[in-house]
Chains A and B, each alone.
Chain A
Amino acid sequence: MIRYSLGRLLGLIGSVLIISLILFIAVRWLPGTPWNEAEIPLQGAAKENMMRKYGLDQPVYIQYAKYLWNLFHLDLGNSFIYKTDTVWQTIARGWPATAKIGSVTLLIAFSIGIPVGIIAALRQNSLLDYTVTFLATTGITVPNFAVAVWLVMFVSVKMDLLPTQGWGTWQHMVLPVVAYSLAPTSLIARFTRVSMLEAMRSDYIRTARAKGLAEPVVILRHVFKNALIPIITLVGPLIPNLMTGSIFIENTFGIPGIGRHFVTSIFDRDYPVIMGVFMLVAVLFGLTYFISDILYTWADPRVRLTDRQT
């Protein structure tokens, strides 16, 4: 187990390094420079000075080596656009809003999705079950920005209950969270339902019933506990996704989160910020896959993590 974990961690570091190399080269490939040369063209010497100041005059491999060295010291560099900010500060400024929306969404997704999935599975093929399945499918497929537009139209504009945009009070959080949580809630509900049904069909459930256990005990202790295992694998990637925020939701509701940096840093050619946010996502995703694999063995002792299968 420990040996496996170490191997996976090393592999993770390797992957992140390769991603950083690909990203670094790709970032230098982006047409244009970090300076607004369309409106303020830079003359020869001035441009050379600027390039030198930001270390862009050196060959790419030296720039990359320097970047790695700084990365090793957890230094992501300074933003080219917000000149007084380190990349960490840029991230730290957006993160609270994103994390707030993300964690509330996650909470809602679980506390609604799992019970709804269980109830639907217990009443399989009833009208309730069909309704839940239909709504869940709808919730997964309809893009969250479309839902956001409908919410703004009806709740904010028509009924004038909540603000259309902005950030600060709890009222500002309601619509983004509703729009954002619809898909993960539906996903969890659907997945819970399917894995509950799967577990309910197994032999050990028949055994549990046969030995006269009370129905609630069978459902909670035997069915649900086993149904939980596949849910873990689903939830893993959901967490970094929600915590790095939906760019669409933040864009629609004008939330000052981290999501917009993914777009603006590319538009601005803000090399260090691009690298910073993308690397952060890569590390977060890698770690969650790793942790959910470990959790998986813990929840299901039959699973052995020796043979690596993606």
Chain B
Amino acid sequence: MTSLKEAEEKGQKRRKANFMWRFRRNKLAVAGSGIVLACIFIAMFANFLAPTSYDVGNLVEARQPPSWSHVFGTDAVGRDYLSRMLYATRTSIIVALGVQVITLSIGISLGTLGGYLGGWVDQIVVRIIEIATGIPALLIAMFIMGLLGHSMWNVIFALGISGWVVETRITRGQFLAFKEREFVIAAQAIGASRFRVAFRHIFPNIVPILAVLLAFQVPAVIFNEAGLSFLGLGIDEPVPSLGKMISTSLGYVRTYWHMGLFPSLMIAVITMGFTFVGDGLRDALDPTMNR
């Protein structure tokens, strides 16, 4: 006889193994994980990996094409392009994760309030969502950047404050769906507090979906950060950002091809890596979707 607890643990293990198996079978997802891990590695150790610091320039060496001494060439003031790109990757990752902290905190709190409490609280939450949907997040972020001035922390704040609608919507929807399930009613019946029901019983069921969402939101944020910097509303010099490097390169597109090609490829690789991981996670969690 196996006890209930043992059986449950076995089941959990099997589900986990199944999930891992399905994820690993997806080659794109595995490749994506490699990219994501590499990005995080670069972000953490940019100062060790980069040949020079991001703000060291040598005007004599300005605008050099790739060579052995500067693998990716140099920029308009002679800064090593490879180093700039490694630090820019760090910027992207920090911004992406920082923004997620803000959007998830707002999204989970608002979504839980609306979805679980219902009633007039939900009405208000729905209204707030409706108003926030009225203007695209990027425009709100642009506006906030105009208000606050340009720095990395302001970019994180602006994108976080403007980008929580999807998180709220999904959390709320999930709470609405789970609220009526038997195990929730059972928990309420034995007198668990509302807080306990919401966070110990319902919330763990939402985590996988939020994880998938996170994997998709990270590339979106990286896109938006690059976009803000591309428009000159993002991070100020000398801190590098891929978007800024791309927009600067447009002025040299006829003469210095390396200045545009490398950062644009880099941002493509990063965003694709995260998206493939998101796709893989989603398919592995819910095999009936898509395929």
A-to-B contact residues, CB < 8 Å: 11, 15-16, 18-19, 22, 26, 29-31, 124-125, 134, 137-138, 140-143, 145-146, 149-150, 152-153, 156-157, 164, 194, 197, 241, 247-248, 251-252, 262-263, 266-267, 274, 278, 281-282, 285-286, 289, 308-310
Contacts and interface: CB of A to CB of B under 8 A. Distances in A.
B246 interface: yes
Nearest to A143: B223
A263 B126 contact: no
Contacts of A194: 289-290
**What's the dominant secondary structure at chain B's contact region?**
helix
A124 to B, nearest CB: 8
Contacts of A140: 275
A193 B139 CA distance: 31
A149 B261 CA distance: 8
Given A278-B135, A310-B126, A145 B276 contact: no
Contact of A267 (B135, B146, B253, B272): B146
A15 B131 contact: yes
B169 to A, nearest CB: 6
Interface stretch (B80-88, B95-103, B183-191, B263-271): B263-271
Nearest to B134: A282
Interface stretch (B7-15, B65-73, B224-232): B224-232
A145 B227 contact: yes
Interface in B259-291: 260-261, 264-265, 267-268, 271-272, 274-276, 279, 289-291
A137 B31 CA distance: 14
Interface string B138-176: 010011001101000000000000000000010011001
Given A286-B134, A308-B126, A31 B261 contact: no
**Candidate in A15, A19, A146, A194 with the most chain B CB atoms within 10 angstroms:** A146
B226 A143 contact: yes
B212 to A, nearest CB: 14
A309 B129 CA distance: 11
Nearest to A190: B290
A308 B243 CA distance: 39
A281 B172 CA distance: 26
Cβ-closest 9 pairs across A and B: A146-B264, A266-B146, A282-B134, A142-B268, A141-B271, A141-B275, A149-B260, A149-B264, A143-B223
Given A152-B253, A309-B173, 16 more contacts: A15-B127, A15-B134, A19-B131, A141-B275, A143-B223, A149-B249, A197-B290, A248-B227, A248-B230, A262-B139, A266-B143, A266-B233, A267-B146, A282-B135, A310-B169, A310-B172
Given A263-B142, A310-B129, A149 B223 contact: no
Given A146-B267, A310-B129, A285 B246 contact: no
B130 interface: yes
B239 interface: no
B213 interface: no
B28 interface: yes
